[in-house]
Structure 1
Amino acid sequence: MDRVTLAEDFQLSRIIHGMMRLNEWNLSKEERLSFIKEVMEKEITTFDHADIYGGYQCEELFGEALGLDPSLRKKMEIITKCGIVLPSSNRPEHQSHHYNTSKKHIIHSVEQSLTNLKTDYIDLLLIHRPDPFMNPEETAEAFDQLHNDGKVLHFGVSNFKRSQMKMLETYTAQPLVTNQIELNPYNLENFEDGTLDLSLEMQAPPMAWSPLAGGQLFEQEEPKAERLRKALKQIGSEIGTDKMDEVIYSWLLSHPASIMPIVGSGKLERIDSAAAALKMKLTPHQWYVIYEASLGHEVP
């Protein structure tokens, strides 16, 4: 498995496993542990969480499994996110859906995540969404305290646009090592608006959430999806696969920004498709066949 360097002393596996739907897989803690081990046997060692996933349940479910074999912790990298506040029966004190990137909230959220995940450190903490009410000085102070206390080793953001990431970067002593953003052939927004350009500029490889566009590429009966399916099948025949998901992953992995797709499936065969794509390299011609299918016209 390829690995991506985000800092001098910090790497992630090129394919990241996402735990957003862990509570939907109906696994016992023993089955969860077995699944984690099987994923790691594929050399996928990075696991993506957020405090809110599964109605504030997924971190705890993962931690229960990890608690059965604590030796795995040093062999994996744990990402989690904070900053979104959701009303939930698991958080009765929350009054509304909003964002909170205050120092107090970030530190409290991390301490809860550490308890839930049964670990004493987080490898990478991301601010989950841009916060229009953010006080970046407070956010930076939270990062510094968490880093100095050894509770978080590295920091980044999620869903931030170019200006938002540049703004926060001016306040933080801790480098922002990544931006977790939506990247897939169906939605080109972050390819076109400078967001991905900033990842290259900062040498901060991005993570791609929803790399398969939430199934829209396979299910939508509209011209854009139909064009993309035709293009994916064409390129698949050229690179030796009849699996459209492998072509999509290859399209992302071939990009020079060192994109790290997040695979959020509980099915090992889906994870295998992402891993298989690492062996497939698209030419510029092949990459643009898919890009132009999404645009609906040739590039200028």
Structure 2
Amino acid sequence: MPHRLPADLHCPRIKTTPNGPELSRIVAGMWRMTEWDMTVDQRIAFIEQCLALGVTTFDHADIYGSYGVEGLFGEALGRKPSLRDQMQLVSKCGIKLVTPQRPQHSIQHYDTSASHIIASSEESLRQLQTDRLDLLLIHRPDPLMNFDEVAEAFSALRKSGKVLHFGVSNFSRHQFESLNRRIALATNQVEFSPLQTAPMFDETFDGLQDLGVAPMAWSPLGGGRLFNGTDAAAENLRLVINGIADELQQPFASVVFAWIMQSPSRPIPLTGTGRIEAISVAVAGTRFTLDRSDWFRILRAARGHEVA
């Protein structure tokens, strides 16, 4: 029997840093929007349902959907412009895909040059049909990345009013701190779930907590593997999480989201679904805290050995 979610569900908000953007505690990830096969009216309705839940932050990247997602979302904003001031828009840049949509790209590669960062941001604004991004992230570390050049591009975008805050994605602690010394960064978006616990042990979360920066967490459900993975690690985790969910009378995914958000670094999880019911379950995870022993039961299952 499905769990009955509270009728008054509403997602709280969180500032990523004292001077950073205020985001919803659960972020709606848009990377699969081209797969949802929604009409523009259905996209508008989905956005409105997210906003009604308090999920006001929408995560994009220029490359999502082979450079197609931002345009789909922007079409909805263009049809109903009043939605824009009710939300925060996040996007990423720095990867060039080989795709028919970009015939000039001959090899997939990173590009964090100032010219590409600025051009990508301006194209994201055009596609999203907005005049500003609330948060822009460098999508992946680039072996040819020049920290000073990236900081100068960020400064130029801020001065022009095109981007309000900046961050990175998938950066190591050292890479984050190297760029953060040049320009204040609002977040580091990394993969984190019970199936991917590395950020808790490779200094990523420690370093961010030390700086007072909240990370964003992509793939919080392990790309669905927590639900349907047939490997021993996924099956064991599923058994443990199901047991805790039954004890708490909470949905399985709500327990996972609560587990993620309990880290003192204050991770902000991203969803990856076009189903408002699944987003509601994520929001429900903001309403309770796991007992420390239950939290460690999940970690023990995640790592496959005792933690003390």
Residue among 195, 215, 221 paired with 2:204? 195
Does the CA-based 8 Å contact 1:66-1:118 persist in structure 2? yes
Does the CA-based 8 Å contact 2:257-2:282 persist in structure 1? yes
Q: What's the CA shift for 1:285? A: 0.8
Does the CA-based 8 Å contact 2:216-2:270 persist in structure 1? yes
Q: Unaligned regions of 5+ residues in structure 1, if any?
A: none
Instruction: State the match for 1:276 in structure 2.
Output: 284
CA RMSD of superposed structures (Å)? 1.1
Question: The residue matched to 1:47 in structure 2 has which SS?
Answer: strand
Instruction: State the match for 1:131 in structure 2.
Output: 142
Instruction: State the match for 1:183 in structure 2.
Output: 192
Does the CA-based 8 Å contact 2:20-2:165 persist in structure 1? no
Instruction: State the match for 1:256 in structure 2.
Output: 264
Does the CA-based 8 Å contact 2:135-2:167 persist in structure 1? yes
Structure scoring higher RCO (CA < 8 A, sep ≥ 6) equals 2
Instruction: State the match for 1:110 in structure 2.
Output: 121
Does the CA-based 8 Å contact 1:246-1:277 persist in structure 2? yes
Q: Give the letter aligned to residue 226 of structure 2.
A: L
Does the CA-based 8 Å contact 1:239-1:280 persist in structure 2? no
Question: The residue matched to 1:291 in structure 2 has which SS?
Answer: helix
Moved more, 54-63 or 256-265: 256-265
Instruction: State the match for 2:65 in structure 1.
Output: 54
Instruction: State the match for 1:237 in structure 2.
Output: 246
Instruction: State the match for 2:163 in structure 1.
Output: 152
Work out the CA distance in 2 between the residues paired with 1:291 and 1:76: 34
Instruction: State the match for 1:170 in structure 2.
Output: 181
TM-score (norm 1): 0.96
Residue among 1, 12, 17 paired with 1:2? 12
Q: Give the letter aligned to residue 244 of structure 1.
A: F
Give 4+ residue runs of structure 1 displaced > 4 Å after superposition.
Answer: none
Q: Give the letter aligned to residue 113 of structure 1.
A: S
Work out the CA distance in 2 between the residues paired with 1:40 and 1:284: 32
Does residue 294 of structure 1 match 2:308? no
Q: Give the letter aligned to residue 250 of structure 1.
A: A
Aligned length, in residue pairs: 297
Q: What's the CA shift for 1:9? A: 6.2
Work out the CA distance in 1 between the residues paired with 2:145 and 2:70: 25
Q: Deviations over 1:207-231 (max 9, x none)?
A: 1100000111222222211221121
Does the CA-based 8 Å contact 2:21-2:135 persist in structure 1? no
Question: The residue matched to 1:227 in structure 2 has which SS?
Answer: helix
Instruction: State the match for 1:208 in structure 2.
Output: 217
Question: The residue matched to 1:153 in structure 2 has which SS?
Answer: coil
Does residue 97 of structure 1 match 2:105? no
Work out the CA distance in 1 between the residues paired with 2:263 and 2:20: 24
Instruction: State the match for 1:80 in structure 2.
Output: 91
Moved more, 260-269 or 219-228: 219-228
Work out the CA distance in 1 between the residues paired with 2:94 and 2:272: 21
Where do residues 8-47 of structure 1 align in structure 2 (5 Å cutoff)?
8=19, 10-47=21-58
Does the CA-based 8 Å contact 1:85-1:99 persist in structure 2? yes
Q: What's the CA shift for 1:246? A: 1.5
Structure having the higher strand fraction is 1
Q: Unaligned regions of 5+ residues in structure 2, if any?
A: 1-10
Q: Give the letter aligned to residue 294 of structure 2.
A: Q
